[in-house]
């Protein structure tokens, strides 16, 4: 029996989806990347996580759809 609390997509899937979204938007993808599974089942993928600026936040829902994307240039 599958774990009902397991997210439908994996962390690596969410990261790949977020990276593809950033590339499509023309946003730079900088490490480190912080990936967090939220209680509502969405994955929050933040690039350039230890710095301010040149940072993207992409929210991916449990189906693999990007529901929000933001980029801070500085």
pLDDT at 74: 75
- How many CA atoms lie less than 13 Å away from 22 in the CB half-sphere? 26
User: Residue 62 and residue 74: Cα distance in Å, rounded?
Assistant: 30
Rounded to a whole number, what is the largest CA-CA distance in the chain? 47
Whether the pLDDT of residue 2 is over 80: the answer is no
Q: Where are the domains of the chain?
A: 11-72
| pLDDT tens-digit map of 3-29 | 456 568 999 999 999 999 999 999 999
Extended strands (E) in the chain: 34-37, 43-46, 55-60, 66-72
pLDDT at 4: 54
User: Of all residues in the chain, what percent carry a pLDDT higher than 90?
Assistant: 81
pTM: 0.88
């Amino acid at each position: 029996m599958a774990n009902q609390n397991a997210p439908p997509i994996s962390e690596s899937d969410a990261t790949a989806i977020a990276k593809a979204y950033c590339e499509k938007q023309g946003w730079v993808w900088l490490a480190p990347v912080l990936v967090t599974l939220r209680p509502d089942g969405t994955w929050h993928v933040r690039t350039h996580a230890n710095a301010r600026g040149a940072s993207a936040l992409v929210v991916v829902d449990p189906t693999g759809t990007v529901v929000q994307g933001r980029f801070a240039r500085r």
